[in-house]
């Protein structure tokens, strides 16, 4: 079924700066340890191939979709990667929407459908998020690289403006 979306965004798991930095640091450590290994034939080759494997995995993760956010005329659809359950948020149940910072922490882990303190979080990377308050009191925090566009589409729907 071909359906038009009012908003669509893909966030990739490999673009999270904190985990990417960690993988690059581990690869550099492996290459430095390989360089200073006394007997390179025994352990050095293992360190070299481990560093290369970490870099290859980092490149592959740049193309793995972590969160696919789409907005139709009735719902917000959030799909994760591989076997995660798709989350559907009805637009008619949203009572309020606001743009906010995702977190005050410097390093944030990617999460999908993470329930904490009454807030359901979706995050891959970046600093910005859109907070949805539902009529039943629950809240969704959706991290996005396009907060203004996502906020505008949801806000227009709440106000009754149909595109």
Q: What are the tens digits of pLDDT across the range 13-40?
A: 888 888 899 999 999 999 999 888 877 6
- What is the per-residue pLDDT across 42-92, written as a single tens digit (0 to 9) for each? 777 888 999 999 999 999 999 998 899 999 988 999 998 877 789 999 998
The mean pLDDT of 85-112, rounded to a whole number, is: 88
Whether the CB-CB separation of 115 and 135 falls below 8 Å is answered with no
Helix (H, G, I), strand (E, B) or coil at 12: strand
pTM comes to 0.81
Which band of pLDDT confidence, cut at 50, 70 and 90, is reported for residue 1? very low
Q: Which of 149, 97, 100, 152 is nearest to 128 (CA)?
A: 100
Q: Pairing mode, if any, of strands 139-143 and 119-123? A: parallel
Report the DSSP pairing between strands 128-134 and 139-143: antiparallel
Structure tokens at 37: 């290994």
For the record, the structure tokens of 145 come out as 């690289």
Q: For residue 18, what pLDDT is reported? A: 83
- Would you say how long the chain is, in residues? 163
- pLDDT greater than 60 at residue 163: no
């Amino acid at each position: 079924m071909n359906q038009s979306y009012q908003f669509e965004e893909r966030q990739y798991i490999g673009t999270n700066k904190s985990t990417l930095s960690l993988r690059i640091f581990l690869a550099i450590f492996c290459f430095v340890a390989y360089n200073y290994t006394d007997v390179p034939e025994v352990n050095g080759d293992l360190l070299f191939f481990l560093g290369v494997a970490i870099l290859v995995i980092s490149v592959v993760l740049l193309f793995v979709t972590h969160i696919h956010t789409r907005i139709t005329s009735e719902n917000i659809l959030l799909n994760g990667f591989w076997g995660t359950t798709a989350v559907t948020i009805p637009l008619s149940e949203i009572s309020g929407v606001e743009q906010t910072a995702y977190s005050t922490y410097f390093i944030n882990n990617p999460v999908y459908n993470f329930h904490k303190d009454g807030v359901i979080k979706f995050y891959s990377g970046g600093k910005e998020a859109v907070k949805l308050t539902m009529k039943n009191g629950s809240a969704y925090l959706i991290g996005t690289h396009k907060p203004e566009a996502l906020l505008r589409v949801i806000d227009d729907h709440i106000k009754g403006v149909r595109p």
